[in-house]
Amino acid sequence: MARKIGAEIAGTFIITLAATSVDVLYYTTHQVDYVSRWLARGFATAAVIYAFSEISGAHVDPAITLGFTLRGVFPARTMVLYWIAQFAGSFAAAALLLAAFGSNVALGASHPGPTIPPVEAAIAEVLLTAIVMLVILTTAKQKAVVGRETALAVGFAVAACGFFAGPISGASMNPARSIAPQMLSGQFGLVWVYAAGPLLGAGLAVVIHSLLCGAPNREEREAAQGK
């Protein structure tokens, strides 16, 4: 369990560091374009899954952990430990970026587009997280693509969601990645958007997946818990 917790801390640290820093650079320099911004997110997600999936399942996202728990392939008591680890990793990354970028770290925190109401952004987060969670659950059910082989599919899903919905909600799909830089930059008013949206989205994906694929199998448990 200590190794699993360590993997979740390290994985969420990498995800938060990559996603937040690339957003800061996107808004403050001309060296990161829109496509590169979302490809970086997708690549980081794929790399973390490759690195840590066999240790902890590489959830690195409280919404994903909730989804696996609701699906019945991950212990509820362990979910809390994973959440603590994920937020520990994300706050460590956000603190490092605060030291590096100062107040500009606020630009790397997820936020709705300039004309997008928070409620609309929350709905977008529900749908985006449902897409990613559904990809994870469906690929996990297939014996040939358990664990590391899901990395490409999930990385593509994360990047694609950013391409079409980044201007709406910032395409977070990960409460830990968003809430840590939001809180450290004093943006408390949007925390509910990036907590409720992804968690509801994960639950929605579990319902859809259960209707499509039936009961969980061994491959899903292995994907959720690692080896």
* Domains of the chain by residue range: 2-225
Q: How far is CA 23 from the centre of its chain?
A: 15
pLDDT per residue as tens digits for the range 57-74: 899 999 999 999 999 999
What pLDDT, on the 0 to 100 scale, is given for residue 144? 45
Cα–Cα distances (Å) from 195 to 100, 173, 180, 184, in that order, read 26, 9, 11, 16
What pLDDT, on the 0 to 100 scale, is given for residue 224? 84
Q: Kindly report the pTM of this predicted structure.
A: 0.93
pLDDT at 133 over 80: yes
Cα–Cα distances (Å) from 7 to 1, 51, 163, 202, in that order, read 10, 9, 28, 21
pLDDT at 147 over 60: no
Q: How confident is the model at residue 217 (pLDDT cuts 50, 70, 90)?
A: confident
Query: Looking at domain 2-225, which CATH architecture does it have?
Result: Up-down Bundle (1.20)
Q: How confident is the model at residue 145 (pLDDT cuts 50, 70, 90)?
A: very low
Q: At residue 83, what is the residue type?
A: W
What pLDDT, on the 0 to 100 scale, is given for residue 140? 77
CB 61 within 8 Å of CB 12: yes
Q: Report the range of poorest mean pLDDT among 65-69, 86-90, 183-187, 201-205.
A: 183-187
